[in-house]
Amino acid sequence: MIDPYGSSVLLPRFISNRQKRIELIKEASELPSIILNTSAAANVVMLGSGYFNPLEGFMGLSEALTCAEKMRAKDDLLWPIPVINVCKDVAAVDKSRRIALIDPNTDHNQVLAIMDVDNIEPVEAEQLRFMANHIFSTTDLEHPGVSTFINLGSHLVSGKVEVLNFSYYSSDFPSTFQTASQIRDKITELGWTRVVAFQTRNPMHRAHEELCRLAMERIDADGVIVHMLLGKLKEGDIPGDVRDSCIRLIADKYFPENKMLVSGYGFDMLYAGPREAILHAIVRQNMGATHLIVGRDHAGVGDYYDAFEAQEIFKDKWIKDALDIDVFCADHTAYSHKLGSIVMMSEAKNHDKSDFLLISGTQVREMLANGIKPPPEFCRPEVASILIKHYQS
């Protein structure tokens, strides 16, 4: 199986020994504590579940600035986006060397992790804007990732973490949320060697479905893992439980048994385009995938990135050499009236725009909200029924 990123074995920060975890939870109840913001909490879950291997915790300010500018963590490790814990108020933990990190997404002040504090440093607004500009290629507050990042707080708390639970993901998505280790175990159980990963924050339409088949065929893969993001999205995106139902329906009804795995991970969408595409590749290498599908406007939002910018970044030799996972580059896929099938538009000869079935996201949402199913060439009727129920509720 493909090695994890940056180490020969996966080194998740979750404390798997039950007795030790109970002892740490008891210790945490007596420690100074801070309530994390949702971005930092998502980072903790990713560290705990092994997806951010080989990182051990939150970066300090100097490392975060270098990471943002040059995509380098300590020891010259390629890392595209700083993993940071920025807080608005650190009075409760000032000068503390060991603190509890409280989950903002669950009730009763549940402890998410314990941190051994390296530094508590002020971070200036200009430094946050500097990092945002490198990460997102803009400081426009209309960009959902930028507006979140710039308003995280004024102090950066860094250090290694010992993760004690996976927030709400285990309870809200018990059949879908999996750690990188769990997915690796499943790949081994199935005997897969070439594994395609498909990242999604949307329900699967016919084009997504066919793209997974196409990638599997062209790289001769044993199977595909549809790996959905289960964390925070922007307003208007489809909630995780609805997406889960849609994707499982497709896997069960339209794919051969044991050819499509449906799984999810606990992270918030950043909408960071090419930088986030690299992060997606690291995450999928850590879970054991050998290939990641990177499509048109991957991890993008609005018009902030060029359509294929997230593919172009993988042509950089340093990035390519740092990763063991390969990228399957895909063009926009659509139904061809001429051919009677879904194709990659760039590969369809003697076609113009009118030869394709093209429906905008706005049109689809309006149709679903009005109880109208999109054409079956665009969306499976059963999936459309699930989405209509969601939009009309």
Catalytic residue among 133, 194, 202, 248: 202
User: Can you give the pLDDT at residue 385?
Assistant: 94
Q: Examine the pLDDT at 14 and tell me if it is beyond 90.
A: yes
Q: Examine the pLDDT at 281 and tell me if it is beyond 90.
A: yes
Say what angle helices 381-392 and 361-369 make with each other, to 10 degrees: 70
CATH entry, 18-167, from 3.10.400.10, 1.20.1730.10, 2.40.37.10, 3.30.70.1900 = 3.10.400.10
| pLDDT tens-place string over residues 356-365 | 988 777 788 8
Provide the percentage of residues in the chain whose pLDDT is more than 70: 99
Q: Average pLDDT for residues 254-258, to the nearest whole number?
A: 93
The CATH 3.10.400.10 portion of the chain extends over 18-167
Q: Examine the pLDDT at 232 and tell me if it is beyond 80.
A: no
Q: Which of 321, 279, 293 is nearest to 55 (CA)?
A: 279
The CATH 3.40.50.620 portion of the chain extends over 171-265+271-392
The CATH number given to 171-265+271-392 is: 3.40.50.620
Active site residue 365: no
User: Can you give the pLDDT at residue 369?
Assistant: 87
Confidence of residue 371 (pLDDT cuts 50, 70, 90): very high
User: Can you give the pLDDT at residue 391?
Assistant: 87
Catalytic residue among 21, 72, 129, 201: 201
Q: Examine the pLDDT at 208 and tell me if it is beyond 80.
A: yes
Confidence of residue 68 (pLDDT cuts 50, 70, 90): very high
The rounded mean pLDDT for the chain is: 94
Q: Average pLDDT for residues 322-342, to the nearest whole number?
A: 92
Active site residue 13: no
User: Can you give the pLDDT at residue 107?
Assistant: 83
User: Can you give the pLDDT at residue 168?
Assistant: 92
